[in-house]
Structure 1
Amino acid sequence: MARNIEIKARIDDFSALYAKIALLADGIPDIIEQDDTFFVCPNGRLKLRTLAVDRGELIFYQRVDQAGPKTSFYSLSETQDPNGLRETLTLALGSAGRVIKQRTLFMVGQTRLHLDRVKGLGDFLEFEVVLEEDETEAQGIAIAEDLLERLQIQRQELVDQAYVDLLNQRQQHPL
């Protein structure tokens, strides 16, 4: 399976962070509308990411929930019928939640930096240091830690849960 090192942080000033990342980025960002449906999965997470009516990705991944850099192992398969696949998987496995977001994707070397506007949650920074087969987790963590410092992200801003978990908690315990 492919691997990356992930970090997620809650952010207060989307525009200010956008400007900082733009100075580091390899080019202009992509804006991506994402609709992620999560399914009941006992040994990891399974989500269907709808990108368009005729384009989606089924993604299985495993990672620990912890603040700071963490390794994620994942496998991805593309689909041309995300709505049909969502219906089938919901019937077969059950739905575990849904996350709708607008993602601004920057590339900085081998790292995908996401500025996410998550419906019902707010704004977040998430980045994934994509590891080459011969790279160690320690090398990826070093890259992630360097980016945290360069972007001036404080430890107390780090988030240890997936968006779907945060949304499900909010629904169970509204303010």
Structure 2
Amino acid sequence: MTYQDFTLKARLSDRARVERQLLALGFTYIGLDEQRDTYFRVGQGKLKLRQGTIENLVTHYERRVDKAAEKTVVYVYDLNPSAQQIAALYAAHQVIGVVEKRRRIYRLGNVKIHLDTMAEGAEFLEIEVFDHSNTRPAPELEARCHEVLRSLEITVADLLPTGYFKSGC
């Protein structure tokens, strides 16, 4: 797999302030994605089908903490899966959970920012620094992740480990 990323997730207490900061830092607003993430039982990591108005994918991944950021180990990353691929996923794996959210997506170079509003109203921020060619050193990606966190004035106390869906994955 020629893909690597580092992510940080945090509680979001003032979305409007963060959005202003993102625009001031030069991030581009990509759009609002209405997402439904379905998780399937697997022996290792997480297997997820994302169905959204912008992003659609099947991914099997594992996140490992590396100095507070999480390095993603990706086993499968298929963008825009076909109806046949989706049917095969449901036929081969047991569904263990679903997460629905509204995600505002911002991007600057190899950094994506997600501002997520969960179905129950809780808000979170995710910083994803990625390398689709797997040529950049991991410490560079991780440092950039922490740099963006500081520039958005998000405190370490607001950080959350490993994502929104935990049980059974």
TM (norm. structure 2) is 0.85
Cα offsets for 1:104-150 (capped at 9, x unmatched): 11112210011111113610000110124221111011101111111
Greater CA drift, 25-34 or 122-131: 25-34
Greater CA drift, 36-45 or 18-27: 18-27
Question: What aligned pairs does 1:19-98 form with structure 2 within 5 A after superposition?
Answer: 19-52=20-53, 56-64=56-64, 68-74=68-74, 75-77=76-78, 78-81=80-83, 85=86, 88-98=88-98
Give the direction of change, closer, same or farther, for the CA distance of 1:154–1:26 in structure 2 (3 Å limit). Answer: closer
SS in 2 for 1:31: strand
Paired with 1:42 and 1:61, the residues of 2 have a C-alpha distance of 11
| Cα root mean square deviation, aligned | 2.4
Number of matched residues?
163
Give the direction of change, closer, same or farther, for the CA distance of 1:96–1:107 in structure 2 (3 Å limit). Answer: same
Tell me if the contact between 1:7 and 1:127 (Cα under 8 Å) persists in the aligned partners: yes
Paired with 2:118 and 2:88, the residues of 1 have a C-alpha distance of 25
Question: What aligned pairs does 1:123-162 form with structure 2 within 5 A after superposition?
Answer: 123-131=123-131, 132-162=133-163
Cα offsets for 1:32-88 (capped at 9, x unmatched): 111100000111110001125xx8311111112678311102232132328x82x65
What amino acid maps onto 1:4 in structure 2? D
Give the direction of change, closer, same or farther, for the CA distance of 1:160–1:15 in structure 2 (3 Å limit). Answer: same
Greater CA drift, 127-136 or 87-96: 87-96
Q: Once the two structures are aligned, what percentage of the paired residues are identical?
A: 24
Paired with 2:154 and 2:136, the residues of 1 have a C-alpha distance of 25
Aligned to 1:111: 111
Paired with 1:98 and 1:40, the residues of 2 have a C-alpha distance of 12
What amino acid maps onto 1:93 in structure 2? H
Higher helix share: 1
What amino acid maps onto 1:144 in structure 2? C
Tell me if the contact between 1:29 and 1:106 (Cα under 8 Å) persists in the aligned partners: yes
Paired with 1:26 and 1:10, the residues of 2 have a C-alpha distance of 20
Paired with 2:60 and 2:82, the residues of 1 have a C-alpha distance of 17
Structure 1 residue 10: Cα displacement: 0.6
Structure 1 residue 9: Cα displacement: 0.3
TM (norm. structure 1) is 0.82
Tell me if the contact between 1:67 and 1:160 (Cα under 8 Å) persists in the aligned partners: no
Paired with 2:72 and 2:141, the residues of 1 have a C-alpha distance of 11
Paired with 1:73 and 1:121, the residues of 2 have a C-alpha distance of 30
Q: Which runs of 5+ in 1 are unaligned?
A: 170-175
